[in-house]
Amino acid sequence: MAGSGTAHLRDGLDVVLSIRNLTVEYAGRKGERVHAVSDVSFDVRRGETVGLVGESGCGKSSVAKAILQLPPPTSGSVLLDGTEMIGLGGSALRNHRRRLQMIFQDPISSLNPLRKVKDIVAEGLRIHGYADEKEIRERTLDMLERVGLDPDTASDRRPHEFSGGQCQRISIARAMVLDPEIVICDEPVSALDVSVQAQIVNLLEEMKARYELTLVFIAHDLAVVKNVSDRVVVMYSGKVCEVADSDELFGAPAHPYTRALIDAVPEPDPDAPVRTGALDGDIPSPLAPPSGCRFRTRCPAAQEVCANVEPQMREVRPGHFAACHFPLEDGVGLSR
């Protein structure tokens, strides 16, 4: 059940990115407030891949953009190696953004259709003060080759001449050419064919190993998240509801919402029993979130306390945290 709290944060322990009490609100068309992200906290260790999952509309992309100050969040804290990102501007923010790069969901619309590939990839180098055009060209062509594109044929073409998977490779090259420490992958494979998805995921894994990257991997495809993530953060309606290591979370979810997400993943076995327990209803409106637990309107175990008291993140098993008044035991039963 969606709640608040910071019990799951790991102070020290080589944490490179720490998001604390992040809130993102937008102005609606009639002046009302859209509560996209409400009091979200999580952290990422150096070299780790943290998966951020949840249904569409739960606030995952808003969290990613707020980390990069695109736009800045309404409130909260984003610490990059102990440096507060919120409030930075000008050259100070630009210098830190070089360390933080993003790969966007739609690989085609994220690329300027009027520019050649070599200029798209090299743009960041020029913005960040690389003045030697020979070095810029060498770094650009080398990175295109590393992401699996032929620099001789690709560099002078424009994005519309490439497939979706090839455009995503260009996007990865654009992010990686600046030699970042952290890459935020905002659903980088959701717009691609299944066969191409595997290629892009493998490329990201290769890049992570080669450049010792730290990844924040956002997706609603739990199968992908399970394969690539060391730790998983589950979001619902702008709130964090569960955090655990990947194997632990998928093996024994403590939160009813996480259990429902896992049950919704189809089994590639025609003889497998049909799973029941699909959630009824939709995510509540971000204009007027429910009181108490935001998941209570769809939760089969909701009780009166869920409407009156917002659950706080707490450790339900060693290293496994959930915001729920009645967490599951071993991923299957309700504890009272």
pLDDT digits (tens, 9 = 90+) for 133-184: 999 999 999 999 999 999 999 999 999 999 999 999 999 999 999 999 999 9
Q: What region, left, alpha or beta, does residue 15 occupy, with left being phi > 0 and alpha being psi -120 to 50 degrees?
A: beta
Can you give the pLDDT at residue 334?
44
In the chain, what is the straight-line distance between the N-terminal and C-terminal CA atoms, in Å? 15
Q: Tell me the C-alpha distance between 322 and 242, whole Å.
A: 4
Radius of gyration of the chain (CA): 21
Specify whether the CB–CB gap between 213 and 207 falls below 8 A: yes
Cβ pair 10, 332 in contact under 8 A: no
**Does residue 281 surpass a pLDDT of 70?**
yes
Residue 320 — very low, low, confident or very high, per pLDDT cuts 50/70/90?
very high
**What is the pLDDT at residue 239?**
94
Exposed, middle or buried by CB within 10 Å (0-12, 13-18, 19+), for 77? middle
Domain boundaries, the chain: 1-99+181-189+213-267+275-336
Q: Which residues contact 6 (CB under 8 A, 6 or more apart)?
A: 20, 21, 41, 313
Q: Supply the pLDDT for residue 93.
A: 87
Region 303-312 average pLDDT: 94
CA dihedral 78, 81, 87, 89 (to 10 degrees): -130
Asked whether 7 and 323 are in contact (CB, 8 A), the reply is no
Mean pLDDT, the chain, whole residue set: 90
Supply the pLDDT for residue 13.
Answer: 75
- In this predicted model, what pLDDT tens digit does every residue of 100-121 receive, in sequence order? 999 998 888 999 999 999 999 9
Tokens standing for 203? 């490329």
Whether 272 has a pLDDT exceeding 70, the answer reads no
Angle between helices 194-211 and 164-176 (to 10 degrees): 10
Residues in the chain: 336
Rounded Cα–Cα distance for residues 109 and 54 (Å): 23
- 255 CB neighbour count, 10 Å cutoff: 31
**What class does CATH assign to 1-99+181-189+213-267+275-336?**
alpha beta
Distance of CA 22 to the CA centre of its chain: 14
Token code pair at residue 257: 């919402």
**Secondary-structure percent of the chain, ordered helix, strand, coil, rounded to 5:** 30, 25, 45
Confidence label for 332 from pLDDT (cuts 50, 70 and 90): low
* Lookup result for tokens 């995952």: 60
So what's the pLDDT on residue 1?
42
Q: What is the pLDDT of residues 174-202, one digit of tens each?
A: 999 999 999 999 999 888 888 899 999 99
Rounded distance, CA 242 to CA 208, Å? 25
